[in-house]
Amino acid sequence: MSEQSVTVIGAGLAGCEAAWQMAERGIHVDLIEMKPDKRTPAHKEDTFSELVCSNSLRSNELSNAAGLLKEEMRRLGSLIMESADNNSVAAGGALAVDRNAFSGYITDKIKNHRNISVIAEEAERIPQGKVIIATGPLSSEAISDAIAELCPVDDLHFYDAVAPIVSFESIDLESAFFASRYDKGTADYVNCPLSKEEYEAFVTELISAKEAEIHGFDDGAVFEGCMPVEVMARRGFDTLRYGPLKPVGLRDPHTGIEPYAVVQLRKDNQDGTLYNMVGFQTHLTWSEQKRVFSIIPALANAEFVRYGVMHRNTFINSPVLLDRYYRLRSEPRIAFAGQITGVEGYIESAASGMLAGIEMAADIKEYAHVDFPQETAIGALSLYVSSGSVGPFQPMNINFGIITPLGYKVKGKRNKNAEISKRSLDIIRDLKSKEVFGYENNS
């Protein structure tokens, strides 16, 4: 393999974006894709970057973190965003696309780029030289085994069983208190007390709430190792009080007594802007999670930056394994991109591919790394994935909670988010002057 060559494994959104970014910088890319001979259960077509829903790319508004991430990518020359904008359909403030046209556009661009060679076969091993692995959450057994060899024990996960995460600023602290059980250590947890009546109302709604549909590629074995909170509740009315909602060792400073039950929230990122609902792995629909969990007084107006999910999902323990460029710390010639890194969502996957491709090109061309800062959405996502989580690593969508706060007050949430977006896009404009953004226009 040439010193100016990279292998990309997987032609989903992350793999195609990574390949495009490098090819546009004059680097030859071998893109390995197992379709059409073999597909994951989620894929039906032969084209690249296949979506399962026309509205998968979410909001286009700059007051929304997903909208900011998309605008950053537009300004950085994203193939995925070029296709989305060229194949969009009316959807109000969201970016919806004609799925077939979207995938077809990307496929044509990739296959006709002079610096990209498409290899239609299943990757069963990791090749020599520089590699970006973008095989997705349903990676084949063969490549999963190869990836597992790169990971220490327990650093490759095959099931995604995660609890909801709320923004700290949306928690009603007049109905909650900071404490650790028995006052051991520092007061790291936000505790949300429930009276007997509030607990009974919560459990009543929880045990009858609607569960999400189980798709054909999900595996029920996920429930064996991590029981959903609603399943626990159905085992007995007091089961949760002796499990994740136990109040033992906690005293509410507002009342001076031990609550009947307590929902604990644990800091989920180093900045303390996000909190995880401890023990609340769930298979409820997102709308039911919002409805039922908002019964908890301290979470009555909570902003859920991600909901709980339980499904088949191959992802690595990125904070341990990867650096901010999505490179393997132990073997930097290998980078990862897409949902296998723990980013959640199509646009986040594409953004990780973009950053991995740009920074891999910097390595090869011997440019200075771009080092997207935490004030940008694309940088905040890579920094969260590589080092920003606290406690067990959970996949994450882009949200304003992982972006560096402004440091000054702005009235109104939409105005504050718009100001964060303006700051980010100003930074992107300045970063584009770096040498690594010089395309060679070889398409």
Q: Per residue of the chain (443 residues), what is the pLDDT tens digit?
A: 456 899 999 999 999 999 999 999 999 999 999 877 766 655 667 889 888 665 668 888 899 999 999 999 999 999 999 999 999 876 667 787 888 899 999 999 999 999 999 999 988 889 999 999 998 777 777 877 888 888 775 666 655 567 899 999 999 999 999 988 877 666 778 999 999 999 999 999 999 999 876 544 444 444 444 678 998 899 889 989 988 999 998 999 989 999 999 999 988 777 889 998 988 988 899 999 999 999 999 999 999 998 887 766 678 888 989 999 999 999 999 999 998 998 988 999 999 999 999 999 999 998 889 999 999 999 999 999 998 777 777 778 899 999 999 989 999 888 999 999 999 999 999 988 766 565 554 44
Cα–Cα distance for residue pair 257/8, rounded to 1 Å:
58
Cβ count within 10 A of residue 36: 11
Angstrom distances, CA of residue 53 to CA of 5, 78, 289, 345: 34, 20, 22, 12
| Res 27: pLDDT | 95
Residues of the chain with CATH 3.50.50.60: 5-155+317-437
Does residue 60 contact residue 37 with C-beta atoms inside 8 Å? no
* Cα torsion angle, 424, 427, 432, 436, sign: negative
Q: Is 240 exposed, middle or buried (0-12, 13-18, 19+ CB in 10 A)?
A: buried
Cβ count within 10 A of residue 186: 9
The amino acid sitting at 300 is: A
| Integer Rg of the chain from CA | 22
Pick the CATH number of 5-155+317-437 from 3.40.140.10, 3.20.20.20, 2.40.50.140, 3.50.50.60: 3.50.50.60
Please give the model's pTM, rounded to 2 decimal places.
Answer: 0.73
pLDDT in tens, 412-424: 888 999 999 999 9
Does residue 165 contact residue 276 with C-beta atoms inside 8 Å? yes
- Compute the half-sphere exposure of residue 72: CA atoms within 13 Å on the CB side of its CA: 34
| Res 185: pLDDT | 61
Residues of the chain with CATH 2.40.30: 165-309
Does residue 170 contact residue 293 with C-beta atoms inside 8 Å? no
At the top level of CATH, which class does the domain 165-309 belong to?
Answer: mainly beta
Q: Is 310 exposed, middle or buried (0-12, 13-18, 19+ CB in 10 A)?
A: buried
Q: Is 131 exposed, middle or buried (0-12, 13-18, 19+ CB in 10 A)?
A: buried
* Cα torsion angle, 241, 301, 376, 70, sign: positive
